[in-house]
Amino acid sequence: MTREELASKLDHLDPGATLKVTESVLAALFGDGRLSKEAVAMIEAFALDHRCTFSVEQGKPSFEKDDIF
């Protein structure tokens, strides 16, 4: 997956919907093979740009589309 593909998926999510992405994919897109604090900060900013919230619950990263457009 590329950043452009992820952006498209996030843009097309319905309000309140969740998209789970594996840590290894995110680490490849935003980090150097691992999710460092810097990579997580970049992912959070990327999520906000696409009206989503990024979180990691029980070790599983996910994006949730904001309810308000």
Q: Which domain holds residue 47?
A: 3-65
Q: How many domains does the chain have?
A: 1
pTM of the entire structure?
0.90
Six-digit token string for 51: 């009206």
Residue 69 has a pLDDT of 57
Six-digit token string for 50: 């696409």
Residue 38 has phi, psi (to 5 degrees) of: -65, -40
Six-digit token string for 59: 């070790």
Residue 9 has a pLDDT of 97
Q: DSSP for 38-61, please give it.
A: HHHHHHHHHHHHTTEEEEEETTEE
pLDDT (tens digit per residue) in 7-41: 999 999 999 999 999 999 999 999 888 888 999 99
